[in-house]
Amino acid sequence: MYVSFIGISGYIRRINMGSIRTFIIMILMIREASLKEFELVQHLRQIGAILVTHGGDVVTYQNNNYNPINVIDGRDGNPDECDCCASLIRPAWININLGEPRPFSRIHLVGRPSSPNNLHSTQFSDLQITINTGQDGRKSLPISNVNNMFTVNASTSLQYVKSINVSTTNSFQDDHVMTLCDVKIFQNVNITSQSSTWSTCVAENAINGQRFNELSLCSACSATDVDNTPWWELDLGFINLIGAISVQGRTDTSDRQSRNLIIYISNVTVGPDRTAEAVNNPSDNTEIIVNLNPVVLSIHSEIDVLGNVIVKISAVQ
């Protein structure tokens, strides 16, 4: 089973609260899981899940290697020395297929580095990038050559990429060669969210590496506001091998706030109508350790809150 989601939630299982107004706080910490960028191209290259194709003749010069596959080798430099760039005779294009739509935060292209007197500077000019979202959408942008680099940032209308195509828009210039040295695609991983927020106890606090402390609650923990069906979620961004999940709750006189929790895991980014698998039963314990045997591949997990109590969790790892 593949899993990609870890979290704590109260909206998978509906709870009959009656007339009681419940104040449910959810406090979590995922150790060593802070928000960061993950470079996707190298990951896919290592597992053989990325395809590079091209159109146009590959440059032949001395014994140098200008093969289009070089754009995903994770290196850049002088193409006449490093064997780390792709050079094609215009008109030309290079296509990088990721196999399926994948969320991204930014796409970064690197062209030929500057040389004395800007020789060959046009090899990264008069180009465009076309992003295929895999969701019946494409977006083409002219590539602005700024220090031989170009970046496309994700936006509300452009959040997924299935393939990118870099192509020439002008067949012949002073230099009729197109050179592309490196392509990187970044994802934001370990993205947290929750049903509501109490005070400054935002969802991301749960993965900041700090443990529960009564004197500094919101610097170490996340917390929901008044909420009958609270939830907290962690999106790992990509599939991970997970052997165990440990949830450590509040340890003071209010430890009842860390009881009756259920952890759910899923292999896809999940929404309100998600289907996920519970991996534990609710109990009065303030610490939950779930050993996943065999280990599972995970992107998402979720923890379900049962009962009308305040729920606080100081650590999940």
What CATH number is associated with residue 179?
2.60.120.260
49 with 166, same domain? yes
Q: Tens digit of pLDDT for each residue in 96-147? A: 999 988 888 999 999 988 776 666 778 998 999 999 998 778 999 999 877 8
Handedness of CA 195, 200, 204, 210 (dihedral sign): negative
Most confident of 88-92, 204-208, 214-218: 88-92
State the average pLDDT over residues 145-153. 90
In this structure, the number of other CB atoms found within 10 A of the CB of residue 35 comes to 13
75 with 116, same domain? yes
Q: Which domain holds residue 236?
A: 2-35+190-316
What pLDDT sits at residue 31?
Answer: 40
Enter the pTM of the model: 0.64
230 with 308, same domain? yes
168 with 48, same domain? yes
Q: Tens digit of pLDDT for each residue in 92-108? A: 999 999 998 888 899 99
Between these two residues, 136 and 240, which has the higher pLDDT value?
136
46 with 16, same domain? no
